[in-house]
Amino acid sequence: MGSKRLQGGALIALMALLWSLGAGSVPESLAGQSPVTDLGGDDIVWVCNPAGVRDDGSFVDMALRRVRDSMGLEYPPLAGEFPETDVERMRVRGDGSAAINDLFYKRGWTDGLPVVVPTFERLKSMLTGTDLERAYEVATLAPMNGVATVEKIAVNAIMAGCRPVHMPILIAAVRAIADPDFDLRGMSTTTSPDVPCIIITGPIARQIGLNTGFNVMGRGNRGNASIGRALQLIINNIGGSWPGITDMSCLGSPAEHGMVIVENPDGNPWPSFNEDMGLPADANAVTVLGAEGWRVAVAHGWSGPDVMRLMGRHLAGLAYQRPRWPTILVVIPGDTAYQLAHEGYTKERIRKELREQNPIPKGEYEKWFANDFWKQGVTRTLAEHPGEPVIAAPETDHLLILYAGGNGMKNIIVPGWFGAKGPVTREVELPPDWDDVVAADKGAF
């Protein structure tokens, strides 16, 4: 690491000593260890830096600023303009929340919405959610290769509104997106509107108060919302995926503020999602896939075969865009699941019938893609599957079926990022004092 980076690390080491002595805040005796950022006022607050650091000791922001300047852009206006330390001493008025939010926004560290200021005291609290050392390197994240230490994950989690009980899930999610099969580099720089979709399974969901029922993919639950948002901030700040600079998505997606789906453990007529992924039913796990949007398949009053035809036609539409998607997720709520199960549909039968629906004649398919760029991919795919019909559905183990949400018959189909090899699953590792962490956090949900 470079000398400036070591300065920040030395400061954190001193803070660790203070924590062990029970100190609640950083005393002024350390004032000489950190520059002062003057935001107006006479109050001092110690704020943690969310930006990723590369293996050479430089912050990812420095490289991003060079890219910004080479493109002739002016946003973020204060990119890379901060003390190169892990903790920054700020002079503010009161708690300084508004001024610090404005500063973070101008540095490119937010998603456009206000964030919770990651103070030193909040970092201490957030780190109680894991027994890993703060400096432990969980992963290196594309596209700018920032190192996701436990500390940096915690800082971004604070900003997103997370609680300590969310840390084990976030650490597992970071491990998952760093897997080459997920293709974070491609997904975080593409012109497509892909976003990381987090599927959370196991008893931890209910234990920490996540929403598994109505509006499971939407608003209203702190954990669901903040976990998804935190992962996006981690990709932005640690990985260095900045809109218009390294993230070149033409349109973007509203799900860039977070996309989380939690399996409903109540009334599932089929084996659990964990079992589909080769894990014990009671495992706590995170599965990630890059989601290229979603579409709704309304199945009111339809029989099982009709539901299969309906979903199959949605998949046929996807096949006209790209053949054989690496991953497709089908989210099925209660009423549809109960009806299908009553008619004898297992997950295996659903996958089989969806793969058989609406094949497209090869001749028609080849004519459809006149563009040379797409035609190369189509030709390659057809050569890999000679004699088979053209369909959207991937191999059966990548055609995912998730029971989630409240009762109803509005099913959702999520096509996965085309650059990935498939979904990635990681088990959630809990600290030995997990029950105490949950008990201390109960008031938050």
Predicted structure pTM score? 0.90
Joined tokens for residue 5: 């980076």
What residues in the chain have per-residue pLDDT under 70?
Answer: 1-34, 358-396, 443-445
Place of tokens 């003057």: 38
List, in order, residues 6 or more apart from 354 with CB less than 8 Å away: 308, 311, 312, 315, 330, 393, 399
Could you tell me if 68 and 207 lie in one domain?
Answer: yes
* Calpha distance 2→53 (Å, rounded): 10
pLDDT value at residue 420:
93
The answer to whether 299 and 337 are in contact (CB under 8 A) is: no
> Which range of residues forms the domain containing residue 69?
3-250+428-444
In a domain, 62, yes or no: yes
* Calpha distance 175→164 (Å, rounded): 18
List, in order, residues 6 or more apart from 44 with CB less than 8 Å away: 28, 89, 90, 91, 92
The answer to whether 159 and 118 are in contact (CB under 8 A) is: yes
* Calpha distance 289→287 (Å, rounded): 7
Could you tell me if 373 and 433 lie in one domain?
Answer: no
**Ramachandran category for residue 27: left, alpha or beta (phi over 0 → left; psi -120 to 50 → alpha):** beta
pLDDT value at residue 379:
61
In a domain, 157, yes or no: yes
Specify the 3-state DSSP secondary structure of 322: coil
The answer to whether 399 and 393 are in contact (CB under 8 A) is: yes
Task: Name the helix (H) or strand (E) containing 342.
Answer: helix 334-342
Could you tell me if 228 and 372 lie in one domain?
Answer: no
In a domain, 371, yes or no: yes
List, in order, residues 6 or more apart from 58 with CB less than 8 Å away: 2, 5
Task: Name the helix (H) or strand (E) containing 426.
Answer: strand 424-427
Specify the 3-state DSSP secondary structure of 99: helix
In a domain, 284, yes or no: no
The answer to whether 214 and 406 are in contact (CB under 8 A) is: yes
In a domain, 91, yes or no: yes
Could you tell me if 193 and 238 lie in one domain?
Answer: yes
Could you tell me if 153 and 120 lie in one domain?
Answer: yes
DSSP annotation string for 181-204: GG-HHHHTT-SS--EEEEEEESTH
Joined tokens for residue 301: 């009053």
pLDDT value at residue 445:
43
Helix residue spans in 201-258 (DSSP H): 204-207, 222-234
Could you tell me if 388 and 435 lie in one domain?
Answer: no
Could you tell me if 81 and 119 lie in one domain?
Answer: yes
Could you tell me if 41 and 132 lie in one domain?
Answer: yes
Q: What is the CA radius of gyration of the chain?
A: 23
In a domain, 27, yes or no: yes
Could you tell me if 173 and 321 lie in one domain?
Answer: no
In a domain, 283, yes or no: no
Give Cα 305 distance to the centre of its chain: 35
* Calpha distance 81→277 (Å, rounded): 44
In a domain, 47, yes or no: yes
Domain count, the chain: 2
Joined tokens for residue 193: 């509107």
Specify the 3-state DSSP secondary structure of 406: coil
Could you tell me if 309 and 216 lie in one domain?
Answer: no
Could you tell me if 232 and 351 lie in one domain?
Answer: no
pLDDT value at residue 368:
64
* Calpha distance 165→438 (Å, rounded): 6
Which DSSP letter does residue 119 get? B
* Calpha distance 150→169 (Å, rounded): 12
Could you tell me if 139 and 92 lie in one domain?
Answer: yes
- 189: number of Cβ within 10 Å: 18
